[in-house]
Structure 1
Amino acid sequence: MPMTQDQDRTVRDDILDPARLSALAATLGLSGEAIRPFWHQIYFWDAQPGSKLGVDGHPKTGALIPDMGLPRRMWAGGRLRFHTTPKLSQTARKSTTLLNANRKQGRTGALGLVTLHHEISQDGTLLVSEEQDLIYREADARSGTPPHAATDETEVRSHNFTTTELFRYSALTFNGHRIHYDRDYARNVEGYDGLVVHGPLLAQYLMIMAEDLLGGLSAFDFRATAPLLDHQPVIFCAKPVDGGLTLWARAEDGRQCMTATAS
């Protein structure tokens, strides 16, 4: 996977292998061969050697993302625009630019707020544009109080994640973060009561729900608000608003894990 990098931008090329999309569909329990939104997550891997990984399994900061002295990484949300469908078995390009990286003091300790801008293109045609929000926290950061989820949905889908699904999604996205597959690390180092469901995996299910309900998807914005663990059932909720949808993921105890809007 060829890659170039300067101080504020990386560019990666990848061949869009259809077998990888079939593996994603199998992991998500989907039928058919349609290319579903967020497909680009399983391409353009940042495959670093072990010497360049942090203790959490993620690539170390200090290159495109500056090192702010905050080791715990979380995918906080993003804003996606879907422009056109990719051509499989052909090369596509992902260009990533650092928009901002700021350190601030939050209610639970120091925070590093990072926003990346991604553009996925093929033969000069823009396929997907995305702004990705990341949060970096202190090793011993306290957990905040999760918000309570709404209960006025008009559409629902339920799901129970398995350790196999989390492992397969980690493999497909080349996500080495140990909270998703290493239960001892998740509990003893980062303080979770189990394995953590990937934020983008929750977003993936909400995107599929939105696309099914709307008959297509051009825009999707989401924000993670509380972690969901592997032993906790989740309800994906949606209701129409302003010609689109508002969506959210609600845990069994009523807490809100993610919110989103789609059109």
Structure 2
Amino acid sequence: MSEAIQTLSDVIDPARARAMQAILGHDVAIENGMSLPPFFHQLYFWDPQPPENLGRDGHPKVGGVIPDMGLPRRMWAGGRLKFHAPLIAGQGAKRVSFVEMTERKQGRSGPLGFVTLRHEIWQEGQLCITDWQDLVYRQDPDRDVPKPNPPVARQDEKVCQVQCFDSTMLFRYSALTFNGHRIHYDIDYAKKVEGYGGLVVHGPLLAQLLILLAEKQLGSLTSFEFRATAPLLHFEQAQLCWIDGAAWVRGPDGRQCMQAHAVG
């Protein structure tokens, strides 16, 4: 069993959860004593660092909680969640974090670093959520190397919801989750340094939307896993798709941006 690398405590403030509901365009309804929607725990357990402890991308520098693998670009590639018990608004909670895996490999586009974190969310002595977070680190893009073609999304969904994004939504979500990654709000950095065509929609935001779609179809969830497969940009309209436990995000050109699986 790995040792904990970090423990953070927080109060599950219902005002923060209501702000998230507002960002998503939902009814603002969460009060003390109510259960949070699944994955809303990402709004809590901030770890604010002074400017000198930040990397060029706005994230805390590696070498602390996350080991330094010598690669500058970070992506949240996917994750897995197990929901053991509801997280209750208005009560204290803690997040205990572990590094489960680090690995460096040679990919088609150059070296890649993989890190898997496991977060345990506890409240009133009970384990409520286990959250595995898969991160990928890579080199800066080579403008002379063509980008790989993204996977094509399936077309057999039973449910399809249209979702639009803009820079305001991405900025508010970054602020609420205390995510300083500049690809989500600094368009010059996103384009000139990391080689994207615009601001990048947060992977966890896409996962959140798919989780809420799955919850609507299944009722309460026991587990959810997701994998980011292609970037979605802030000016693009997406389709949130569902069929029989499978969920995915389809971009405007038919590419698959995220795939997921939910269990009720």
TM class, shorter-length: over 0.9
Cα offset for 1:8? Answer: 5.4
Match in the other structure for 1:12: 8
Partners in 2 of 1:160 and 1:126 — Cα distance? 35
In the alignment, structure 1 residue 169 sits paired with structure 2 residue 165? no
Partners in 2 of 1:65 and 1:35 — Cα distance? 28
| Residue of structure 1 aligned with 2:208, choices 199, 204, 208 | 204
| Residue of structure 2 aligned with 1:220, choices 221, 224, 233 | 224
Report SS of the residue matched to 1:66.
Answer: coil
Match in the other structure for 2:262: 262
Cα offset for 1:144? Answer: 2.7
Amino acid at match of 1:222: F
- Flag structure 2 segments of 5+ consecutive residues without an equivalent: none
Match in the other structure for 1:75: 76
Amino acid at match of 1:183: I
Q: Alpha-carbon deviations, 1:230-258, whole Å to 9, x = none?
A: 01100000101xxxx10100001000000
Cα offset for 1:46? Answer: 1.7
Amino acid at match of 2:12: L
Cα offset for 1:140? Answer: 2.6
| Residue of structure 1 aligned with 2:162, choices 142, 145, 158 | 158
Q: Alpha-carbon deviations, 1:24-62, whole Å to 9, x = none?
A: 000011114362111111000121111011100011100
User: TM-score, length-normalised on structure 2?
Assistant: 0.93
| Paired residues of 2:3 and 2:98 also in contact (CA < 8 A) | no
Partners in 2 of 1:62 and 1:8 — Cα distance? 16
Partners in 1 of 2:177 and 2:16 — Cα distance? 10
User: TM-score, length-normalised on structure 1?
Assistant: 0.94
Report SS of the residue matched to 1:193.
Answer: coil
| Paired residues of 1:98 and 1:115 also in contact (CA < 8 A) | yes
- For residues 5-44 of structure 1, the aligned pairs below 5 Å read 9-31=5-27, 32-33=29-30, 35-44=36-45
In the alignment, structure 1 residue 238 sits paired with structure 2 residue 242? yes
Amino acid at match of 1:202: L
Match in the other structure for 1:252: 252
Cα offset for 1:7? Answer: 7.8
Report SS of the residue matched to 2:179.
Answer: coil
RMSD of equivalent CA atoms: 1.4
Amino acid at match of 2:87: P
Cα offset for 1:153? Answer: 0.5
- Flag structure 1 segments of 5+ consecutive residues without an equivalent: 1-5
Aligned residue pairs, count: 254
| Paired residues of 1:7 and 1:63 also in contact (CA < 8 A) | no
| Paired residues of 2:162 and 2:238 also in contact (CA < 8 A) | yes
| Paired residues of 1:147 and 1:225 also in contact (CA < 8 A) | yes
